[in-house]
Structure 1
Amino acid sequence: MDFLRKKIYIAGHKGMVGSSIWRLLKARGAESLIGTSSSDLDLRNQQAVSEFFKKEKPDIVIDAAAKVGGILANDTFPYEFLMENLQIQNNLIDCALKENVERFLFLGSSCVYPKKAIQPIKEEYLLSGSLEKTNESYAIAKIAGIKACEAIFLNKKKLFTSIMPSNLYGPFDNFDLNSSHVLPAMIRKFHESKINGNQPVKLWGTGTPLREFLHVEDLADAVIFLLDKTPEYPLLNVGTGYDIEIKDLAIMIQGVIGHEGEIIWDRNMPDGTPRKVMDINKIKSMGWKPRVSLIEGITQTYKWFLQNIDKLKIVDMHI
């Protein structure tokens, strides 16, 4: 792994994804990792990002920085999710190109694919249909990043590529009920209901949508796997290739936590996309596959939640 001797900048290295990649790179022997906090470098500031790149001169850039959130956050702040993500990724991609960075890896999200995409979702289905309205702004921003990297990869012949992970979860997740994704939100709801006498837990929608979940440590492993190879494609899916009905996910999490109360489904709240599972044949054909099972990952995440409950990331609406 020659790339481990190079200077690697991880944008968003304190977030769930970035910190997992950082820890695994350290464990694999990376010699020069760079990370900046938002107080030291505002990635929305073009001049500041440009000066940072000129000073640090990284060889490899991993873009794990984004303004993220669940259905409620995306639906409530569409302008902020669109504009801030565009600013962050445009600055990183453009400065990396201008400073002749050897390798740029852009991390997106499976929400970039059409709401009614044929399942499982192939990379080729990008822009083949309309998006899920509740996170359209975030998806549009990420699609712009994918297309920018693709243009650099195809037209400028530089190794700027993108990976689209499925729904992520794991240590350092966001457990705030106003801005979190479904899995960490369920962990918190079931835990709090359990310690309050196994009160009923109210969950959004019908419980019928199907979702795929990837442990963040598996994503970190995929990132390192890909950095060690010359990219064949400008865009790759990363996931498990398996999905689960949200009702069954709730029952699984309820069992791990030991909650014994009732589950109530609030049908007045949105379900989102009916089904979303990734076709991961391209990355599998290259020799990578996920290692962490869903039950194992939920158990590990709940253990981390309990160990860190007093210092959890609650509201994280900004980088």
Structure 2
Amino acid sequence: MIDKDSIIYIAGHNGMVGSAIWRTLAAQGYLNIIGASSKELDLRKQKDVRDYIRKTKPDVIIDAAAKVGGILANNDFPYQFLMENMQIQNNLINEAHRLGVDKFIFLGSSCIYPKLAPQPLKEEYLLTGPLEPTNEWYALAKITGVKACESIRKQFDKDFVSLMPTNLYGTHDNFDLNSSHVMPAMIRKFYEAKQNNNAVVVLWGTGTPKREFLFVDDMAKAVVYALENQLPDYLYNVGTGEDLTIKELATKIQKIIGHTGEIIWDDTKPDGTPRKLMDVSKMHNIGWKHQVDLEDGIKKTYKWFLENIENFKTNQLKG
């Protein structure tokens, strides 16, 4: 049983998702939340992970640690996105199992599903077709994590569960244009263009793909729900069940920021998957639903961005 005194280790607690989970748990009265920075603990090293878990004896491990990035980063560094993510999650999952941690929450991504899977994406579509080439390396790593947790659950009857969020955004996001995802990249581009006399904003692709977005605090609440309940299945989609085109997203962000210049779509750049809408009925059926709508979430994210502009260093915002 998990209670407010349980030791909860959040791997990746300094990232956007991990920090949101930490804030949410602390706000709900959990007293023993622990984490280690990448300088303190290299999750790619098995012995270091084993020693840390032995020393801290967590009751629960939440794996929010990953090497992440957008289309450009995935394309330029395929080996790192495959191997480093597998090292991180394999070390955490294996050592949690070996050392008697009975509850493990693994966080993945909607990119685990086939590129042309029927919409909305159901959990049972996993491994039914080819992946989207622009992020297959990250997706393959995450699929192995899902299956590792499923196998431990099946063979050893442990409460290892995987949550697959849709596109996440929010406070503490990555606004580095070389590695960021679509939402923070747009926010930064429109802000900088507005400051530059409403200059033209160039965006990748055609703008026609449809995407679903979930505010990171809602994701954190889904994790807490999984923490406080024993979910009956091994895999759950976490999202809003609603999507919009990238062009519609750009227009929405442009309006919130107040940019009045032109938008040019560079169709020589890849679009990625045509659509990635999640079927979130399984989470709805067990009692979780998102609370923050897209417009409010963008406003919250932009507010945080403005409050942290002074932290620009080496072409990025520090989270």
Q: Give me the TM-score of the superposition, normalised by structure 2.
A: 0.97
Distance 2:315 2:113 in 1: 27
Aligned to 2:276: 276
Q: Find the residue that maps to 1:221 and give its secondary structure.
A: helix
Distance 2:66 2:2 in 1: 28
Query: 1:67·1:85 contact (CA, 8 Å) conserved in 2?
Result: yes
Matches within 5 A, 1:108-123: 108-123=108-123
Matches within 5 A, 1:177-216: 177-216=177-216
Distance 1:42 1:174 in 2: 21
Aligned to 2:251: 251
For residue 5 of structure 1, report the CA deviation from its aligned partner. Answer: 2.1
CA deviation map 1:191-235 (0-9, x unaligned): 000000000100000000000000000000111111111120100
For residue 309 of structure 1, report the CA deviation from its aligned partner. Answer: 1.0
Aligned to 2:286: 286
For residue 3 of structure 1, report the CA deviation from its aligned partner. Answer: 3.1
Cα 1:9–1:313 change in 2 (3 A) is farther
Aligned to 1:81: 81
Distance 1:68 1:4 in 2: 31
Matches within 5 A, 1:1-319: 2-312=2-312
- 1:10 aligned partner, one-letter code: I
Cα 1:164–1:315 change in 2 (3 A) is farther
Query: 2:8·2:59 contact (CA, 8 Å) conserved in 1?
Result: yes
For residue 12 of structure 1, report the CA deviation from its aligned partner. Answer: 0.2
Query: 2:9·2:35 contact (CA, 8 Å) conserved in 1?
Result: yes
- 2:139 aligned partner, one-letter code: A
Q: Find the residue that maps to 1:127 and give its secondary structure.
A: coil
Q: Find the residue that maps to 1:130 and give its secondary structure.
A: coil
Distance 2:75 2:12 in 1: 23
| RMSD over equivalenced CA pairs, Å | 1.2
Identical residues among aligned pairs (%): 61
Distance 1:226 1:27 in 2: 17
Query: 2:105·2:226 contact (CA, 8 Å) conserved in 1?
Result: no
Cα 1:312–1:150 change in 2 (3 A) is farther
For residue 2 of structure 1, report the CA deviation from its aligned partner. Answer: 4.2
Query: 2:109·2:142 contact (CA, 8 Å) conserved in 1?
Result: yes
For residue 301 of structure 1, report the CA deviation from its aligned partner. Answer: 0.3
Distance 2:313 2:153 in 1: 36
CA deviation map 1:281-310 (0-9, x unaligned): 001001110000000000110000000012
Query: 1:206·1:267 contact (CA, 8 Å) conserved in 2?
Result: yes
- 1:18 aligned partner, one-letter code: G
Q: Give me the TM-score of the superposition, normalised by structure 1.
A: 0.97
For residue 311 of structure 1, report the CA deviation from its aligned partner. Answer: 1.4
Q: Find the residue that maps to 1:264 and give its secondary structure.
A: strand
Query: 2:2·2:227 contact (CA, 8 Å) conserved in 1?
Result: no
Cα 1:219–1:262 change in 2 (3 A) is same
- 1:298 aligned partner, one-letter code: I
- 2:11 aligned partner, one-letter code: A
Cα 1:315–1:128 change in 2 (3 A) is farther
Q: Any runs of at least 4 consecutive aligned residues in structure 1 with deviations exceeding 3 A, and if so which?
A: 312-316
Query: 2:12·2:65 contact (CA, 8 Å) conserved in 1?
Result: yes
Query: 1:3·1:227 contact (CA, 8 Å) conserved in 2?
Result: no
Q: Find the residue that maps to 1:3 and give its secondary structure.
A: coil
- 1:145 aligned partner, one-letter code: G
Q: Find the residue that maps to 1:4 and give its secondary structure.
A: coil
Distance 1:312 1:163 in 2: 32
Query: 1:114·1:125 contact (CA, 8 Å) conserved in 2?
Result: yes
Distance 1:313 1:159 in 2: 41
Query: 1:122·1:279 contact (CA, 8 Å) conserved in 2?
Result: yes
CA deviation map 1:130-181 (0-9, x unaligned): 0000100000000000000000111110011100000000000000111000
Q: Find the residue that maps to 1:106 and give its secondary structure.
A: strand
Query: 1:193·1:259 contact (CA, 8 Å) conserved in 2?
Result: yes
Q: How many equivalent residue pairs?
A: 316
- 1:281 aligned partner, one-letter code: S
Distance 2:121 2:16 in 1: 25
Cα 1:315–1:141 change in 2 (3 A) is farther
